Amino acid sequence: MSTPQPATPNPSTAISVQAAPFRLDWSARLMLFAVLSAIFLAAMDQTVVSTALPTIARDLHGLAHLPWIITAYLLTSTVCLPVYGKLGDLFGRKRLLQIAILIFLAGSALSGLAQSLDALVAFRALQGLGGGGLLVSAIAAISDFIPITQRGRYQGLVGAAFGLATLIGPFLGGFIVETLSWRWIFYINVPFGALSLGIIGLAFPARKKTPTPPLDLIGGLLLITGLSALVIFASVAGSTHALSGSGPWFLLAFGIGALIAFALVENFHPEPLLPLAFFRYRTFTLSVIISFFVGLAMLGSLSFLPLYLQDVRGFTPTDSGLEMLFLLFGMLGTSIFSGRWISRTQRYRAFPVFGTLLISVALGLLSTIGLTTSLWHIDGMLAVLGVGLGMTMQVLVLSAQLSVEQKHLGVATATASLFRSMGGTLGVAGFGAVFAHFIGGMSLSDTTAGLAYQSRIVQALHVDFRVAAAVSLGAFGCAWFLEEMHHLLARRSTISDDDSAG
């Protein structure tokens, strides 16, 4: 395997700013529909569940452990991303997508049958193993049949699929909880999953058999172990265990040790799970760092907003889901616009710069909400936040892909998604620990708590949003140093020429 080496772009290899006209044929359109349907399935599950979490926690008597319902899914969906990305590059994505959907559906059905919080957390972890592979394989698959100069447009459609799923998800989740049962938010995945499975089987061609390369099993085990230990540390350190105890610190040391061992193994394996040479590329490194910051700020802070809307403002699950539409409308529109603009102009850098700035401003203003804050204030800030996210999330995946060769697209996509998901997982775990610290075992049904319980929720949100705003400002600073698209295309051409010559 040729190790990627950084190269200085040659101006003579620069790509024209104007992309040639491009149209998908019918087979490529069917493949695109298959990819978007898979993304829609996984994205809708996350938003359907979010508005029902307070109801689930109360029904299973586990409000203080609410973060674990989210964290279990995010943990497993995060740690499996590099494995799916590498296997997709080596063996093709059709079979991986089908396996991921089957695992996802099994986890969904079992989650609906769960009779305790512990069982639900375990089944959500299984569901995450499928959901993570489904997302990264589907997003990377777009790059298998879309030219690189047109990829921004279709990455924008990926963002639109996320937006559409999250537009429908909160409302659907609230409606199902009120009219049927929270269990049906998991059962509903089955028909959607069956449809996606059928489309993928029909649309994607079978991959030709190739010699099986050596798999990086030790590296995969070390990475999964290290990431899992770090997430569990963040989850338990501020809630069920005191930081003065030895348990959390042992987890932290164990996780860091496993990641150091992973880095050492990757330097010597012929087919590393994550080639560390990629981090020599400035834009690749910045893309994954910004993705981490954005994931932490977004998921960490917003995951608990439905609890505020329902337990402080008295919203029904359906109404709280509808409030989140302001965020999603902003994200949907700007995701499509940014993708089309990038494909037409071959420039992308302005979007993450302005997007992260808008995210920081919106989160800072959301940190001022109180018990009686005007809903127009909340809705306006959610819309601004959505615009910032739409300008940022899928564009960062594109910039990471542009930084590496075509044959490494799965790894690049998985790495950007890994850092964003890892940020979100640590954000949910860390901010959830803040929530657990403030509310303890209190609940709205406790008549002796009343206003004190609601005030604690508001105080926890203040801390969460302020920290998230500060993190987003860090992402804004990093975005200024991203390279523009023509520089990345020129370097890509240089690397490919070097490999062909070798």
> For residues 43 and 46, what is the distance between their CA atoms, to the nearest angstrom?
5
pLDDT: which is higher, 444 or 254: 254
> For residues 369 and 377, what is the distance between their CA atoms, to the nearest angstrom?
8
Q: Say which residues have a Cβ less than 8 Å from residue 426's Cβ, sequence separation at least 6.
A: 230, 231, 234, 296, 300
User: What is residue 443's predicted lDDT score, i.e. its pLDDT?
Assistant: 58
User: What is residue 360's predicted lDDT score, i.e. its pLDDT?
Assistant: 93
Consecutive H or E run containing 261: helix 246-266
**Tens-place pLDDT, residues 23-47:** 766 777 777 887 888 788 777 776 6
User: What is residue 430's predicted lDDT score, i.e. its pLDDT?
Assistant: 76
Helix/strand/coil (H/E/C) assignment for every residue in 296-315: HHHHHHHCCHHHHHHHCCCC
Exposure of 271 by Cβ count < 10 A (0-12 exposed, 13-18 middle, 19+ buried)? Answer: middle
**Tens-place pLDDT, residues 373-398:** 888 888 899 999 989 988 888 788 88
Q: Say which residues have a Cβ less than 8 Å from residue 376's Cβ, sequence separation at least 6.
A: none
User: What is residue 243's predicted lDDT score, i.e. its pLDDT?
Assistant: 57
**Tens-place pLDDT, residues 182-231:** 888 888 888 878 887 888 877 777 766 666 677 778 888 888 888 888 87
